[in-house]
Amino acid sequence: MEDKLTKIVSLCKRRGFVFGGSEIYGGLSSVWDYGPLGAKLKKRIKDIWWSTYVEKREDILGLDSSIIMHEDVFKASGHLEGFTDSLVDCPKCKKRFRIDKLEKKSDNLYICAECKTDIDTQKSKARKFNLMLKTNVSATEDDPYYGYLRPETAQGIFVNFLNVLNSSHKKLPLGIAQIGKAFRNEVTTGSFIFRMKEFEQMEIEYFVKPAEADKAYQYWVKERHDFYISKIGLKNENIRLREHAKDELAHYAKACTDIEYNFPFGFSELEGIANRGNFDLTEHGRVSKKDLSFFDEQTKEKVVPYVIEPSAGVDRTFFAVICDAYQEEEVNGKTRVVLKLSSALAPYQAAIFPLLKNRPELVSLAKKIFYDIKDELPALYDDTGAIGKLYRRQDEIGTPVCITVDVESLSDKKVTVRDRDTMKQERIGVDNVLNFIKERNKK
């Protein structure tokens, strides 16, 4: 039997959610493209996050900083020195692995994940490999000058901290939020969009007075956990919090909690929330020689703020949403595959079909209904198959309501609506279609 991950990857390709990157040229490992429906779903996730934290709050401002950044940014952040994986090559199958992902046999001995040969890390020369992607930003190849594609959106926030503070005249606590691409030359492959070389993050750097950092950290852990349930609609039982042990913390972090999701391969990180202390602003202040402190009116002292960082992955949220929504049901001896997406996330809220596409009156009424509603909510018109096939297609892409125009519709001015989750069908008036969908999709 196919496992859930294989089925999800196949559905995502079949229905236009996610394709392999550069696929017609044989693909590029750990690089994925979002198709028409994937792009819609991904945008909905980002819109919900942006609206919740940037549009609806006064203490958080948005930013859209550049992807290519100056080398000194990463001297200060520690990425040039420390953002490395230890890699080793298998002497037999020649595949390259991250040592921390291999099963350990004894001190220097690991088992190859591919061909199970013993790998001696001393003989096979384990080496450090920086995960950042370096790029020539000079005008000529003879005289190269290198910048880096940011490995996290966070650094764009830290280097703009003063700009935002000075241009907005805000006081602490102040959050700066950004959604954008990040790049890491990941070696571990094979987990679909869980670990990619090019991915998107939704990060907030929430700057606070040092004495308020613990409270703000606790607040953000709860807030972000609740967001996945109340705003994204993930099932409570598939989400858990995991606090990092002291020896697991990055050297600059005072505390960190992961929000984990129950992916097909087990509970794994969806988001990390860290109390980064004042490490980032202190280091950027030191390397850039700029004063990144603020003046505390109460104590009349200059202080470098602490920062709490809820750092979420757009792609992992997307993946979690699809896993959570994916269901198989036995209906009349056949397996029905259905994505039970919330209507806030579903690529389309309704699909409209004529029962017979060779009857122009049915096509014209179905198109009229479609055009009447599509300005108000995302809808789709389809007449490219028999009704059973059209229902199956909409079930698989998560459309909550299907509306069919049949011959009776011409005389009784009613259409058949079919609910994705219950498969219940009922007749409603043509004039009531928009309201019906809105009411159904409020749930």
Coil, strand or helix at 240: strand
**Of 227, 413, 411, the residue nearest 312 (C-alpha):** 227
Question: By CB under 6 A, is residue 316 in contact with ligand GAP?
Answer: yes
H or E element in which residue 88 lies:
strand 84-89
Contact 175, 63 (CB under 8 A): no
Among 87-95, 269-277, 393-401, 406-414, the segment contacting ligand GAP (CB under 6 A) = 269-277
- Binding residue (CB under 6 A) for ligand GAP from 85, 280, 315, 395: 315
C-alpha 214: how far from chain center: 27
Q: Give one DSSP letter per residue of 224-272, joined into a string.
A: HHHHHHHTS---GGGEEEEEPPGGGS-TT-SEEEEEEEEETTEEEEEEE
Contact 390, 405 (CB under 8 A): no
- Binding residue (CB under 6 A) for ligand GAP from 277, 285, 313, 354: 313
Question: By CB under 6 A, is residue 195 in contact with ligand GAP?
Answer: yes
- Binding residue (CB under 6 A) for ligand GAP from 311, 342, 404, 409: 311
Shortest CB 317 distance to ligand GAP, Å = 7
Among 116-124, 191-199, 382-390, 409-417, the segment contacting ligand GAP (CB under 6 A) = 191-199
Tokens standing for residue 218? 């606790």
Shortest CB 198 distance to ligand GAP, Å = 8
Question: CA-to-CA distance for 171 and 165, rounded, in angstroms?
Answer: 8
Tokens standing for residue 224? 């972000």
Question: CA-to-CA distance for 391 and 298, rounded, in angstroms?
Answer: 64
- Amino acid identity, position 109: L
Question: By CB under 6 A, is residue 154 in contact with ligand GAP?
Answer: yes
Question: By CB under 6 A, is residue 383 in contact with ligand GAP?
Answer: no
Strand partners, 205: 176
**Of 31, 141, 125, 128, the residue nearest 80 (C-alpha):** 128
- Binding residue (CB under 6 A) for ligand GAP from 85, 149, 152, 165: 152
Shortest CB 203 distance to ligand GAP, Å = 6
Tokens standing for residue 288? 């850039």
- Binding residue (CB under 6 A) for ligand GAP from 271, 382, 396, 406: 271
Contact 281, 174 (CB under 8 A): no
Q: Which is nearer to ligand GAP, 228 or 348 (CB)?
A: 228
- Positions 157 through 186 that interact with ligand GAP (CB under 6 A): 184, 186
Shortest CB 264 distance to ligand GAP, Å = 16
Question: By CB under 6 A, is residue 280 in contact with ligand GAP?
Answer: no
Shortest CB 323 distance to ligand GAP, Å = 14
Q: How many of the chain's residues bind ligand GAP (CB under 6 A)?
A: 19
Shortest CB 85 distance to ligand GAP, Å = 11
Among 172-180, 265-273, 289-297, 338-346, the segment contacting ligand GAP (CB under 6 A) = 265-273
Q: How many CA atoms lie within 13 A of 98 on its CB side?
A: 12
Question: By CB under 6 A, is residue 269 in contact with ligand GAP?
Answer: yes
Shortest CB 167 distance to ligand GAP, Å = 23
Question: CA-to-CA distance for 160 and 288, rounded, in angstroms?
Answer: 12
Among 116-124, 197-205, 214-222, 379-387, the segment contacting ligand GAP (CB under 6 A) = 197-205
Q: Give one DSSP letter per residue of 26-64, joined into a string.
A: T--TT-EEE-HHHHHHHHHHHHHHHIIIIIS-SSEEEE-
Q: Can you list the alpha helix ranges (DSSP code H) found in 375-424? A: 387-397, 407-412
Question: By CB under 6 A, is residue 262 in contact with ligand GAP?
Answer: no
Question: By CB under 6 A, is residue 199 in contact with ligand GAP?
Answer: yes
Positions touching ligand GAP (CB under 6 A) are 152, 154, 184, 186, 195-196, 199, 201, 203, 269-272, 309, 311-313, 315-316
